Amino acid sequence: MALNADAISQQSLPKHIAIIMDGNGRWAQARKRPRAYGHKKGVDSVRSAVQFCTKLGIESLTLFAFSSENWRRPEDEVSTLMELFLFVLSREVKKLHKNNVKLKIIGDISKFPESLQAKVHDAHALTANNTGLTLNVAANYGGRWDIVTAAQSLATQVQQGDISVADITEDALSERLTMAEQSPLDLLIRTGGDYRISNFLLWQAAYAELYFTETLWPDFNEEAFSEAIACYISRERRFGCTGEQIQQLLAESKSTS
């Protein structure tokens, strides 16, 4: 079935995509390099994913950068991740701003160094009014933490007499979760070959399509991303689409812009 740009963009594409970026360490180890090298190469894939979503007109992209469980990793790896995070915030935010991308760091950043927290606040302020892609970066984030924090907010309101227990509904809790103001999650991708969501967006993923791939994150290029979206389209809209068709759509859009 032939697909035109309008058919895909208006009816079929996910509005909100989330990715568990797994496999950086294994990618590096397979090349006899330190795990830190894999994390640095993974930044290239982040850039590619952001550019791809921007071209397709995706509303929100959420990336799992550092989970609340990642503190258990070796100290030197955690230190490298913090340094890389600070570097990316320092070097990439202006580029994101130039391309009308709104950056949001979701998670409990209070455990991060003050210098990193300051960079996060600066990035939020700089990109707050942008109207293009919203890029959510989950840092020290956990799905259970997200739900518990929302529940605590509701409990506090009950305790203060602002609401009653009967007012605690799914909608009320959902409104207090991170990214509540954004479109519901449509597609959750995990790279690296594992088949679990690892405490990521537990509430938000309730009705999302799940896509797992053996591809390690540094190798997750535009073609691999196209295949993930093509799979989503075939499930969600009941008509087939290939990664090549997605690429053709991008080429057609570029030629007419």
CB environment 55-88: b (16+ within 10 A), e (fewer): ebebbbbbbbbbbbebeebeeeeeebbbebbbeb
Identify whether 70 is a catalytic site residue.
yes
Check the annotation: does 76 bind a ligand: no
Check the annotation: does 73 bind a ligand: yes
CA–CA distance, 14 with 17 (Å, rounded to integer): 7
Amino acid code (one letter) for 102? K
Check the annotation: does 48 bind a ligand: no
Check the annotation: does 68 bind a ligand: yes
Check the annotation: does 235 bind a ligand: no
User: CB–CB of 168/94 below 8 Å?
Assistant: no
Check the annotation: does 214 bind a ligand: no
Check the annotation: does 190 bind a ligand: yes
Residues 6 or more apart whose Cβ sits within 8 Å of residue 20: 64, 188, 189, 190, 191, 192, 197, 198, 200
Residue with the two structure tokens 């991303």: 225
Q: Taking CA 184 as the corner, what is the angle to CA 181 and CA 188, rounded to the nearest 5 degrees?
A: 130
Check the annotation: does 24 bind a ligand: yes
Is residue 17 classed as helix, strand or coil in its secondary structure?
strand
CA–CA distance, 52 with 56 (Å, rounded to integer): 6
| From 4, 22, 76, 194, active-site residue | 22
Check the annotation: does 67 bind a ligand: yes
User: CB–CB of 104/126 below 8 Å?
Assistant: no
Check the annotation: does 26 bind a ligand: yes
Check the annotation: does 71 bind a ligand: yes
Check the annotation: does 91 bind a ligand: no
Q: What is the CA radius of gyration of the chain?
A: 19
Identify whether 6 is a catalytic site residue.
no
| From 70, 99, 130, 199, active-site residue | 70
- Binding-site residues for substrate sit at 23-27, 35, 39, 67-69, 71, 73, 190, 196-198
Catalytic residues: 22, 70
Which residues are documented as binding site? 22-27, 35, 39, 67-69, 71, 73, 190, 196-198, 209
Binding-site annotation, residues for Mg(2+)? 22, 209
